[in-house]
């Protein structure tokens, strides 16, 4: 009987590395993507605050809905990390501009921002787009 040949184990380390590397890289990129998701949620919250603050400050004439949406989208486009189209950002202002006439002191302005966050790596594991939502309510000055 001959001894075990070392030749039969050639390539075993490469196969083990390939299996472990795929798992390790998936975990690392998953952590990175979840960090970006939390960062983008933070940016959406700040963007809705910026828009609401612009809308409640006393100014004659009052700030239009288009200006509020522009403020929100400008802030989001400057700071968000996106993998999808930035045009998917949706901003809702209520009450609408037509209802904001006359004396509005004390009434609430609500700015709501939604964005479908697309995963790059985690989408391969069945995680579809996650809708990020931020809402800010401020009283008119």
**What's the pLDDT tens digit per position in 74-88?**
999 999 988 766 568
Q: Is residue 4 part of a domain?
A: no
What is the per-residue pLDDT for 135?
97
> What residues make up the domain containing 56?
11-139
Q: Is residue 2 part of a domain?
A: no
1 contact partners, CB below 8 Å, separation of at least 6: none
Dist. CA 111–CA 106, nearest whole Å: 16
Entry pTM: 0.81
Q: Is residue 61 part of a domain?
A: yes
User: How many structural domains comprise the chain?
Assistant: 1
Q: Is residue 23 part of a domain?
A: yes
Instruction: Place 119 in a pLDDT band, splitting at 50, 70 and 90.
Output: confident
What is the per-residue pLDDT for 2?
59
Q: Is residue 46 part of a domain?
A: yes
Bridge pairing between strands 130-139 and 108-117 = antiparallel
Average pLDDT, the chain: 86
Q: Is 41 helix (H, G, I), strand (E, B) or coil?
A: helix
Q: Is residue 3 part of a domain?
A: no
């Amino acid at each position: 009987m001959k001894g075990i040949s070392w030749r039969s184990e050639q390539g075993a380390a490469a196969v083990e590395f390939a299996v472990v590397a795929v798992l390790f890289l998936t975990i690392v990129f998953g952590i990175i993507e979840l960090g970006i998701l939390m960062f983008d949620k933070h940016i959406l919250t700040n963007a809705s605050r910026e828009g609401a603050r612009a809308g409640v400050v006393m100014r004659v004439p009052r700030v239009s809905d288009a200006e509020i949406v522009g403020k929100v989208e400008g802030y989001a486009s400057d700071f968000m990390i996106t993998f999808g189209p930035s045009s998917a950002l949706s901003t809702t202002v209520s009450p609408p501009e037509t209802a904001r006439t006359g004396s509005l002191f004390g009434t609430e302005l609500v700015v709501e921002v939604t964005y479908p966050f697309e995963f790059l790596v985690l989408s391969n594991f069945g995680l579809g787009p996650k809708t990020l939502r931020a809402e800010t309510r401020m009283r008119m000055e």
